[in-house]
């Protein structure tokens, strides 16, 4: 048959309402949560050796792309997941706070590794004993450094939380 004579058949025939995908019903929070959980843009605030593990988990074969957390944004204004990867010192703390404050809502914070979680074995004059002393943290990842599976588990747990969360369109700020 000549290619020109192939008839063009509409995907949904005229008048056949049951075959057409015209509307669906959902809760607003479920819809927004579903959209947000698959579009996490991480800001890697990488200060120490956990960075190696962060590289391992973001590239093949572990690949956070599969969870919608693929594209690191190196501007806090474009990201919504702050991954604090490594030790935060007291000298670094004002920078971390400034980065956190520049991020737009909605935003989540992940403490990646023992140092970001609790200071790890740095209990001294130099290190902040856990970034939750400075900024609120949504999910903690143990390990020195964490296994990639642990990080993926944390991303999935965070996604489950985002999916089940309330997502107000109008917040107290505007």
Interface contacts to other proteins, rule CB under 8 A: 90-91, 93-94, 97, 123-126, 128-129, 132-136
C-beta of 88: minimal distance to other proteins in Å? 10
Residue 128 or 152: the one with the smaller Cβ distance to other proteins is 128
C-beta of 111: minimal distance to other proteins in Å? 14
C-beta of 96: minimal distance to other proteins in Å? 8
C-beta of 92: minimal distance to other proteins in Å? 9
Residue 23 or 125: the one with the smaller Cβ distance to other proteins is 125
Residue 136 or 164: the one with the smaller Cβ distance to other proteins is 136
Residue 78 or 123: the one with the smaller Cβ distance to other proteins is 123
C-beta of 128: minimal distance to other proteins in Å? 7
The CA–CA distances, whole Å, from 12 to 7, 8, 17, 24, 163 equal 15, 12, 8, 17, 32
Residue 136 or 142: the one with the smaller Cβ distance to other proteins is 136
What is the DSSP annotation of the chain?
--GGG-----SS-TT-TTTS-------HHHHHHHHHHT---EEEEE-STHHHHHHHHHSTTT-GGGGT-----SSGGG-SEEEEES--BTTTHHHHHHHHHHSPSS-EEEEESHHHHH-TT--SSSB-S-GGGTS--SEEE-SSSPPHHHHHHHHHHHHHHHHHS---SS-TT-
């Amino acid at each position: 048959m000549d290619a020109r004579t192939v008839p063009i058949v509409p995907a949904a025939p005229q008048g056949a309402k049951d075959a057409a995908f015209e509307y669906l019903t959902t809760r607003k929070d479920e819809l927004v949560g579903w959209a947000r959980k698959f579009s996490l843009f991480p800001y890697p605030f990488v200060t120490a050796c956990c960075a190696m593990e962060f590289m391992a988990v973001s590239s093949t074969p572990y690949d956070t792309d599969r969870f919608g957390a693929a594209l690191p944004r190196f501007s806090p204004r474009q990201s919504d997941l702050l991954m604090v990867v490594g030790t935060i010192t007291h000298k670094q703390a004002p920078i971390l706070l400034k980065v956190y404050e520049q991020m737009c809502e909605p935003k989540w914070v992940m403490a990646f590794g023992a140092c970001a979680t609790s200071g790890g074995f740095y209990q001294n004059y130099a290190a902040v004993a856990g970034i939750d002393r400075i900024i609120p943290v949504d999910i903690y990842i143990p390990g020195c450094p964490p296994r990639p599976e642990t990080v993926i588990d944390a991303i999935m747990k965070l996604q489950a939380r985002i999916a089940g969360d309330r997502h107000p369109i109008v917040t107290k700020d505007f």
